[in-house]
Homo-oligomer: A and B are copies of this chain.
Amino acid sequence: MNSRSSSESPKLRRILERAARLIFEKGFDGTSMQDIADACGLTKAGLYHHVATKEALLIAIMEYGMDLFEEVVLARVEHIADPLERLRRTMANNIELVLTDSSKEVTIILHEHQTLTGDAQKKINGRKKRYVRFLEDSFKQAMSRGQIRKVDPTLASFSFLGSVLWTYKWYRADGRLSPQQLSEGTIDLFFNGLMP
């Protein structure tokens, strides 16, 4: 399965989202293909039509997580000429993605699961690294325009990612802060630290 196929089939997307939720709740080893088929209203044969093995399913979840990220975050900001505005929009879009209920567990598995090995891991890590480089380049451009003070671009990139990705660990939609307050507050806190 390649990354295009998961983006193109709404049915496969739903399977991956439900499988991610189960794996998040019960652990990868504690979840059987039968459990996943049941949760999707499929027979086991029906599920195997979409994914050949449980390992392939895990890879497909991570690739779907990266597809989603590239589609709703990266593709919508890459064209923004102003590097500081580009970074702010990237953070807003990424926080929004992390808070999206339907794909929340897909994102968690993408960033926390250790099981992946070999070529599949290299491919996913390569796509993650592309995001880090995009952030680093944007920080460097913002520095050279004098929009932000001089900081280490790698450190700034990972602090950015920490602020964004940690939100799925603690944010509760039924809590005191609205998603908008969370997003605006995080952006404000982070970028204020960069002002010249």
Contacts and interface: CB of A to CB of B under 8 A. Distances in A.
Interface of A: 24-25, 27-30, 111-112, 114-115, 149, 151-152, 154-156, 158-159, 161-167, 169-171, 176-177, 181-182, 185-186, 188-195
B158 A170 contact: yes
A193 B163 CA distance: 13
A164 B182 CA distance: 19
B167 A158 contact: yes
B152 A177 contact: yes
B189 A192 contact: no
A129 B171 CA distance: 13
A154 B169 CA distance: 13
- Copies of this protein in the complex: 2
Contact of A166 (B114, B161, B176): B161
26 contacts: A24-B114, A27-B27, A27-B115, A112-B112, A149-B192, A151-B188, A152-B177, A152-B185, A155-B177, A155-B181, A155-B182, A155-B185, A158-B167, A158-B170, A158-B171, A159-B166, A159-B189, A162-B162, A162-B163, A165-B166, A166-B166, A188-B193, A189-B194, A192-B193, A192-B194, A193-B194
A24 B169 CA distance: 19
A158 to B, nearest CB: 5
Contacts of A158: 166-167, 170-171
Contacts of A112: 112
B25 A189 contact: no
A190 B114 CA distance: 29
Nearest 9 A-B pairs (CB), nearest first? A193-B193, A162-B166, A29-B29, A192-B193, A162-B162, A155-B185, A189-B193, A162-B163, A158-B170
Contacts of A190: 159, 193
